[in-house]
Amino acid sequence: MQKKQDSPDLDKRLDQFDKRLEEMGVRIKDANDLKVREDVFDEITLVSLYKLVHKKWISVIGGSISTGKEANVFYGERNTAGIAIKIYRIRTANFTTMSSYIVGDRRFARVKNSKKELIFAWTRKEFSNLARAREAGISVPEPLVWFRNILVMSFIGEREVPYPQIRNADIGDPEKVYSAILDDIGTLYNKAGLVHGDLSEFNILYGERHYFIDMGQSVTRDHPRAQFFLMRDIKNINRFFKQRCAVREDLEVFYAITGLDTAEP
């Protein structure tokens, strides 16, 4: 009902959006897929994009790279540098799953109990997790700015094409990559104090090396489920590499990283 009513409006709004962005000097490259746009570009998102353009964080909005469960990712440019623009959908985001990752994280104790607020907090959380990981020396996209439900980060790829997810990549020496990934999980835990929480062959890009991405759900070590998430990350990585090289025991890796000798469920 609601949807039918706002569709003609939306078309008009999107036309105005294009016109306004043009006036602001932004090029829109093949972002004309209305289906994508209808889901992603609600009023709040449009206004937030204007703001990021106005503040010169974004100079080109490019094509859609990915439509995920909770977010869309677009290619973009800031001056001449490639950026990834990740937009969490306010309408369709999975509120229940998201809140279980925010509750228990002291950094976000004051988040209000509304969906919009939660999604803004989630965006801020991904920004801050990426910044922390990067500070600890992990290869992740450089977070540039966040505003409301929009995260702008450096682009991991070549020209306008993202590096493939590691599941589709040609990894030369799997043993070396495996051990480098375990090192990063350890550094993330012990130096950044974080657990990725959704680490798998889907959230690691591979170019000339590996990159962890998608850290919205990452939690601090003191989160009640941190050790459970860590164990799950380790299991996913072991499962993926088992077909490619010799892997260590799940628990042995967990123990080596945490210094604990039991995995709390």
Q: How far is CA 14 from the centre of its chain?
A: 25
Q: How many CB atoms lie within 10 A of CB 11?
A: 13
184 binds Mn ion, rule: CB under 5 A: no
Q: How many CB atoms lie within 10 A of CB 241?
A: 22
> Considering only residues 84-143, where is the footprint of ligand ADP by CB under 6 A?
84, 86, 141
Length of the chain measured in residues? 265
Binding mask 204-233 for Mn ion (x = CB under 5 A): ----------x-------------------
DSSP character at residue 165: B
DSSP H or E segment with residue 185: helix 174-190
Among 77, 105, 184, 214, the residue binding ligand ADP under the rule CB under 6 A is 214
Binding site partner of 150, from ligand ADP, Mn ion, none, Cβ cut-off 5-8 A by kind: none
β partners of residue 161: 158
65 binds ligand ADP, rule: CB under 6 A: yes
Binding site partner of 66, from ligand ADP, Mn ion, none, Cβ cut-off 5-8 A by kind: ligand ADP
Q: How many CB atoms lie within 10 A of CB 187?
A: 16
DSSP character at residue 159: T
The distance of closest approach from Cβ of residue 99 to ligand ADP in the complex, given in angstroms and rounded to an integer, is 16
Q: Judge whether 214 counts as a catalytic residue.
A: yes
18's CB contacts (< 8 A; 6+ apart) are 28
Residue least distant from Mn ion (Cβ): 214
Give the residues lining the site for ligand ADP (CB under 6 A).
Answer: 65-66, 68, 70-71, 73, 84, 86, 141, 153, 155-157, 162, 165, 203, 213-214
Q: Just list the catalytic residues.
A: 198, 214
Give the residues lining the site for Mn ion (CB under 5 A).
Answer: 203, 214
